[in-house]
């Protein structure tokens, strides 16, 4: 092994070899959508894809790649969008935070044919295998259309809860330092995530002591919004009306039109002609306003926390024992009071908190 070989060179070697082969065939510059999900992709290789004149990649997907230094990738992105840059990067969209797309499952007919007599000869070539895969995908899509299956609304619009992790968990939520990167790249490079637009991130609407740093919106409320007004103070994002930076890149990446618009446009069910509004928030902007069980949420315009509630220290989960004094609990349960508490210990007081406490506090409410 060459002693001058760096760690990045070692881990990026297989892909660099493929890129070199495509370059010799005069093909690499024609690749506008590049999907490297799950492969070994160091940050230095991403830098080459974005900066090197050999490449003309408009949309790049590096979800769940290995050997990626997150800090190194952040430095690369800061570098390419720096104010002193002589030109904007060719890259317009970066898929980074989501999960890999499921591979297309070939039909039984495709499987039997590939294992039969036509698997030899010209069908064993790389180009033919790629064509066979696309034929399989097309057949799956055509079958669904013939059966009359209605396409579901995109997950970002359907989800009420954490939009990054399965089952509303937070383990896949991007780290907080990525919010500064999204802000620096705003208007230049789009991501499969967006910044929270809650009023506490807006200096014109929030007192300095309550102002929050930029944060990635990880909690989705679909088009339903607040339980009272059905909207939000910052107004829901409406596709084809609001700025592109309000919308995430949607999976899977587009393969036939390498544009941000095509990557952000949701696939609508037949019952909808236009995309519904989109409401997304960061975790801090929904703290003590969102029930993590039933996903009800109350916005700042419709619910102001009681003063006595604001002075108290909050527990993070109902398993903490519910050791608060009985006077405050009575206040929380008083639905007739104008300042009744809506959410406590991440559960709505009206229903979910009661159902959680009754089995724990045997006879407490008798």
Output the average pLDDT for the chain. Answer: 78
Look at strands 190-191 and 93-95 and give their pairing: parallel
Helical H segments across 81-149, by residue range: 108-115, 126-146
Contacts of 171 (CB under 8 A, 6+ apart): 165
How confident is the model at residue 184, as a pLDDT?
A: 97
Regions in the chain scoring below 70 on pLDDT:
1-4, 103-153, 159, 165-172, 307-339, 356-366
213 and 313 belong to one structural domain:
no
User: Token pair 């790629």 is at which residue?
Assistant: 130
Does 198 fall in a domain? yes
218 close to 283: Cβ distance less than 8 angstroms = yes
294 and 312 belong to one structural domain:
no
Q: Which residues pair with 343 in a beta bridge?
A: 348
281 and 332 belong to one structural domain:
no
Residue at a domain's end among 299, 332, 350: 299
DSSP strand E in the chain: where?
33-35, 59-61, 93-95, 160-162, 190-191, 219-221, 280-281, 343-344, 347-348
pLDDT tens per residue across span 214-233: 999 999 987 788 999 999 99
Does 109 fall in a domain? no
- Distance from the Cα of residue 80 to its chain's centroid: 22
Does 264 fall in a domain? yes
The domain tally of the chain equals: 3
Does 213 fall in a domain? yes
pLDDT tens per residue across span 58-91: 999 999 999 999 999 999 999 999 999 999 999 9
Per-residue DSSP letter, 143: H
Residue at a domain's end among 277, 299, 321: 299
How confident is the model at residue 256, as a pLDDT?
A: 85
Measured distance CA(267)–CA(144) in Å, rounded: 15
Does 123 fall in a domain? no
pLDDT tens per residue across span 89-138: 999 999 999 888 876 544 333 443 344 433 334 334 444 444 444 444 44
224 close to 234: Cβ distance less than 8 angstroms = no
169 and 249 belong to one structural domain:
yes
159 and 279 belong to one structural domain:
yes
199 and 330 belong to one structural domain:
no
Task: Identify the three-state secondary structure at position 98.
Answer: coil
Does 127 fall in a domain? no
Residue at a domain's end among 91, 118, 137: 91
pLDDT tens per residue across span 207-216: 999 999 999 9
How confident is the model at residue 122, as a pLDDT?
A: 38
How confident is the model at residue 193, as a pLDDT?
A: 96
Does 118 fall in a domain? no
Query: Residue 205: which domain range?
Result: 152-299
Contacts of 169 (CB under 8 A, 6+ apart): 162
158 and 294 belong to one structural domain:
yes
């Amino acid at each position: 092994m060459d002693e001058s070989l760096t760690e990045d060179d070692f881990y990026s070697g297989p892909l660099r070899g493929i890129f070199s082969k495509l370059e010799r065939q005069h093909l690499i510059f024609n690749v506008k959508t590049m999907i490297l999900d799950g492969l070994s992709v160091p940050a230095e290789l991403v830098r080459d894809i974005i900066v090197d004149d050999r490449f003309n990649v408009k949309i790049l997907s590096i979800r769940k790649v290995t050997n990626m230094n997150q800090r190194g990738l952040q430095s690369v992105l800061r570098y390419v969008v720096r104010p002193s840059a002589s030109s904007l990067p060719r890259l317009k969209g970066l898929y980074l935070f989501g999960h890999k797309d499921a591979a297309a499952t070939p039909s039984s007919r495709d499987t039997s044919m590939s294992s039969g007599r036509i698997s030899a000869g010209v069908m064993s070539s790389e180009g033919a295998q790629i064509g066979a895969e696309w034929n399989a995908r097309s057949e799956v899509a055509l079958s669904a259309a013939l059966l009359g299956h209605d396409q579901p609304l995109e997950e970002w619009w359907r989800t009420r809860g954490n939009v990054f992790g399965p089952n509303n968990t937070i383990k896949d939520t991007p780290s907080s330092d990525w919010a500064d990167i999204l802000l620096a790249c705003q208007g230049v490079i789009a991501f499969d995530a967006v910044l929270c637009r809650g009023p506490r991130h807006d200096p014109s609407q929030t007192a300095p002591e309550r102002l929050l740093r930029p944060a990635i919106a990880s909690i989705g409320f679909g088009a339903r919004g607040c339980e009272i007004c059905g909207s939000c103070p910052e107004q829901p994002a409406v596709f084809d009306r609001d700025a592109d930076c309000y919308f995430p890149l949607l999976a899977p990446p587009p393969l036939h039109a390498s544009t941000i618009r095509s990557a952000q446009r949701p696939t609508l069910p037949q019952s909808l002609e236009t995309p519904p509004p989109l409401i997304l928030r960061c975790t801090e902007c929904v703290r003590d306003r969102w029930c993590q069980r039933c996903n009800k949420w109350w916005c700042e315009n419709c619910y102001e926390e009681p003063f006595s509630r604001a002075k108290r220290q909050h527990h993070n989960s109902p398993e903490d024992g519910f050791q608060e004094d009985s006077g405050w609990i009575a206040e929380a349960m008083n639905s007739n009071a104008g300042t009744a508490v809506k959410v406590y210990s991440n559960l709505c007081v009206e229903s979910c908190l009661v159902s959680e406490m009754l089995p724990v506090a045997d006879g407490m409410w008798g």
